[in-house]
Amino acid sequence: MTEPALRATLWIIAAIQLFLGLMMFLAPGTFFDEIGQYGIRNDHYIGDVGSFYLASAFGVGMAAMRPSWRVPILTVGAVWYALHALNHVFDIGQASSDGRGAFDTIFLALLALGSWYLASQSSRIAAARG
């Protein structure tokens, strides 16, 4: 992966995190109905998670601009998505359907792997720079 491709990828991730965070923070009912239908709806907790997504968008955006932030931010993202996927393993039966629960779990695990891959690419690019 090249530096410009990595930077563009980080901006795309930051934009997605920003969108999801704003949706959770400002429209928790819509988020619950369309994306996060697990268990009983709780707008407060959805907003709490939204604030994490907004902070994540900020961190990833900073990492797009500051290469020294990339490995730490992306490593935290990989751990977060891995733990998020693990949490979904335990709650597959609480999703709107078992298929949806399995899909979400696998998708989150792939996001963890993707974050780890981007962290490793960031490290490789930094090492090549010296």
Beta strands in 1-130 (DSSP E): none
pLDDT at 95: 80
Work out the mean pLDDT of the chain and round it to a whole number. 94
Task: Name residues whose C-beta falls within 8 Å of residue 105's C-beta, 6 or more positions apart in sequence.
Answer: 85, 88, 89, 92
Q: How far apart are CA 70 and CA 62, in angstroms?
A: 8
pLDDT tens-place string over residues 119-130: 999 999 999 987
pLDDT tens-place string over residues 87-111: 999 988 888 788 888 999 999 999 9
- Domain segments of the chain as ranges: 3-129
- Please report, to the nearest 10 degrees, the dihedral formed by the alpha carbons of residues 46, 47, 52, 57 taken in order: 110
pLDDT at 94: 85
Instruction: Quote the pTM value.
Output: 0.88
Question: Where does residue 103 rank: exposed (0-12), middle (13-18), buried (19+ CB within 10 A)?
Answer: middle
